[in-house]
Amino acid sequence: MSDAEQPAETGTHEHHNHDHEGPGYATPQAAIEEAEPEQTAYVMGLHVGQDVDAPDFLAVVDVDPDSDTYSEIINRVKMPNKGDELHHFGWNACSSSCHMEGLERRHLVIPGQRSSRIHIVDTKERRDPELTKVIEPETVYDHDLSAPHTVHCIPDGEILISMLGDADGDLPGGFLELNDDFEVQGRWDPPGEIEMNYDYWYQPRQNVMLSTEWAAPKTYYPGFDLDDVEDGKYGQRLNFWDWEAGTVEQTIDLGEDGLIPLEARFLHTPESTHGYVGAALSSNIIHFHESDGEYHAEPVIEFDDREHEGWDMPVPALVTDILISMDDRYLFGSNWLHGEVWMYDISDPSNPRKADSISIGGYFGDIQQVQGRDIVAGPQMLQLSLDGERLYWTTSLFSSWDNQFFPEEAEQGSVMLKADVDPRKGTMSLDREFLVDFGDLPEGPARAHEIRWPDGDCTSDVWQ
């Protein structure tokens, strides 16, 4: 679809009346108070692993309830090559650079997980973004890295990308740094500092970064094999770095409690050392914090496996995404296989208390259709409004894993759904009027993965 008739939406209200000159917000509370309700969402769309001969794309989704095209894909930026597997993406700048006069949160950095190609998209016209640069994989391979994943803007306008493999798709992974002109600066970490890599989050006031572990690209690309877990090919460690030095200071082996630790989240307040990691295969939420100069980690939420007649083993919940509300009050998460999106009160970070959940999609969800559309897979990537009142999610995890556990996702495509959240009461309710159908596209059905807002969000903004 075209957005030719959409009202112009520009980035002119980036920081309103802040006492700073750069991008983002001065504090997490300022983000809550000063951000306007989201009107546009950027979503990763991909065709990898489907019988569709088309490139992946950035989808522009209308999330303005007063718009005639509400809950529709109103524009797409198609990538120049096929087979990238767009996955995670991020901004060139965020609140960690709010002191940088003249810097704008304007460009999206969009890696191809399989191709190691990195795309730069200019969102000056929010509903009509433009691809302006492509970093080819050979430039990435020159630094013996591949399989880009998490993109974070870091202070002073630079960009750091976690890389999951070496140039051949084996271990070790590492980190790639781009400058503010989107040129590859080189490897950020000393080679061999870590073996496995996946997500990361940094807390600059505490001089700490946390990175998690998935596996070598050659291990997870074909799909999931339980024997690989038994052979030690999947991660179970948390790596705590000296942020300024770029070196690992402490590693915690989570053992059976922390198999495949994926998404990492510190609390938003920069004074805190508390945070959480979702251990996907163990289906645990790990709480970490610093005490007496060392970090400690222990499971604080555990989701039980469930029996299913189609499986010869109990089905794990498979916690695949988590996020923390901007006020640090709630932890949200998704159980992709079971079919559940949930929220816990983390006012006491060491003792989360369940607030609410929605059973939807997956193998066990109570709700399997919205507006007559089969959901097909479970909730996966999450994004929360800055005011904490609207939670959105998509349903694709990774193309080969989708095809293994939810093959209908390839045939019917993903959906993007929404729940209304009441932070005061600690409740969620499915908004049945909202459905973005990625199965209804001219080239054929598509998968949908990560979600971003133009004015920043709960999974990209960091404060100094």
Q: Dump pLDDT digits (tens) for 171-213.
A: 999 999 999 999 999 999 999 999 999 999 999 999 999 999 9
Return the DSSP state at 234. Answer: B
CA atoms within 13 Å, Cβ hemisphere of 82 = 9
Phi, psi (deg, nearest 5) at residue 402: -55, -50
Alpha helices in 130-210 (DSSP H): 137-141
In whole angstroms, give the CA distance from residue 149 to residue 449. Answer: 12
The two structure tokens encoding residue 98:
């709010």
Amino acid in the structure at residue 33? E
User: What is the rounded average pLDDT for all residues in the chain?
Assistant: 94
* Mean pLDDT for back-to-back runs of 10 residues, the chain (464 residues): 38 42 87 95 98 98 98 98 98 81 90 98 98 98 98 92 98 97 97 97 97 98 98 98 97 98 97 98 98 97 97 97 98 98 98 98 98 98 98 98 98 98 98 97 98 95 91
Alpha helices in 40-130 (DSSP H): none
Q: Where are the chain's structural domains?
A: 28-452
**Distance in Å from the first CA to the final CA of the chain:** 40
Q: Which CATH architecture has domain 28-452?
A: 7 Propeller (2.130)
pLDDT of residue 12: 35
In whole angstroms, give the CA distance from residue 25 to residue 405. Answer: 40
> What are the C-alpha distances in Å from 158 to residues 72, 113, 214?
33, 20, 25
Sequence-distant (6+) residues with CB within 8 A of 138 are none
Q: Is the dihedral of CA 244, 248, 254, 260 positive or negative?
A: positive
Q: Where are the beta strands (DSSP E) in 199-329?
A: 200-203, 208-211, 237-242, 247-253, 261-266, 275-279, 284-291, 294-302, 319-324
Name the helix (H) or strand (E) containing 219: helix 217-220
Pair 435, 70: CB distance under 8 Å: no
In whole angstroms, give the CA distance from residue 437 to residue 432. Answer: 13
- The tens digit of pLDDT for each residue in 81-125 reads 999 999 999 999 988 777 677 788 999 999 999 999 999 999 999
